[in-house]
Amino acid sequence: MAQKDFLTSRIQEAAEMAVAYQTTSYLDFYEPTLQMLTEREIARYPGSECAFFGGHEYCERKMLCIFPQSQEPTDTEFPIDCIQIKDTSGTLTHQDVLGALMNVGIEREKTGDININNEMIQFFVSAPLGEFIEMQLNRIGRFSVAPKKASLNEIIVFEPNFIDMDIIVPSMRADAVIHAVFRISRSEASALIKAEKVKVNHKAINKPAVSLKEGDVLSVRSKGRIIIDAASGVTKKGNIKLRIKKFA
């Protein structure tokens, strides 16, 4: 709650600056839930707008920009540095990298996505922190590292991997879909929802009867995340055929 209250106050300040002084403000990196909160909140300030960018089109954590109406910045105007590190050990994890950044004083809000592919690590930070990281970050865990800023043409676009699934459900209720996708009982699915461990489009739900639709992103804590890709028809018994994309 404190983080949301702080963000709301920053949105207000930046929006008022955009309207009064035609000023563009770049804030921190935020997860999808807070991106949605910002989009709702900015509507309270006519004359200002918001946009998000994280480094490439598939980033989940994105930097917030608040700007005067009709003056949206391009992606390249966002003050974001991309840092890349060669991991010859092939063992470093997302948590290892995040922990090392925090150890040198980089706050989580200043850090975007952390992507690891084979022996290459790339992550995004608010500029000009890139130079600081190049000088100060020399170890991750027990391994020596040599971070360097990546140019635009060196950024690797990490597309999410999906597994396609075809399921049959009696309805589009959230508990029915969770039951079919994750192969747990309907009662267990309902319990997860009531405990607010399920999000639809990055917003927690607490009612098993919530109806899903094509394009919805559904995540279940400790189980995984899916996209409702398409409804492909109805069976003879009236059940719904669904194509699901499950994040690998």
Whether residue 1 is predicted with pLDDT greater than 70 in this model: the reply is no
φ, ψ for residue 66 (rounded to 5)? -120, 130
Q: How far apart are CA 123 and CA 56, in angstroms?
A: 11
Average the pLDDT over 132-144 and give the result.
Answer: 94
Q: Which two tokens stand for residue 66?
A: 């608040």
| Element holding 201 (H helix, E strand) | none
Q: What is the 3-state secondary structure (H, E, C) of 6-46?
A: HHHHHHHHHHHHHHHHCCCEEEEEECHHHHHHHHHHHCCCC
Cα-based distances in Å from 191 to 2, 62, 230: 27, 31, 26
Whether residue 243 is predicted with pLDDT greater than 90 in this model: the reply is yes
More confident residue, 242 or 3: 242
Percent of the chain with pLDDT over 70: 99
Instruction: Say which residue the tokens 């480094």 belong to.
Output: 55
Overall residue count recorded for the chain in this entry: 248
Look at the pTM and tell me if it is higher than 0.95. Answer: no
Contact 164, 152 (CB under 8 A): no
Q: How far apart are CA 56 and CA 58, in angstroms?
A: 6
Q: Which two tokens stand for residue 186?
A: 């309907």
pLDDT of residue 88: 80
Q: Give the sign of the dihedral formed by CA 142, CA 146, CA 149, CA 152.
A: negative
pLDDT digits over 70-111, tens only?
899 999 999 999 999 998 888 899 999 999 999 999 999 999
pLDDT of residue 119: 84
What average pLDDT does the structure give for the chain? 93
pLDDT digits over 177-188, tens only?
999 999 999 999
| Element holding 101 (H helix, E strand) | helix 94-103
Percent of the chain with pLDDT over 90: 81
pLDDT of residue 212: 96
pLDDT digits over 35-48, tens only?
988 999 999 999 99
Q: How far apart are CA 17 and CA 11, in angstroms?
A: 10
Which residue type occupies 228?
I
pLDDT of residue 247: 86
Q: Which two tokens stand for residue 172?
A: 């589009």
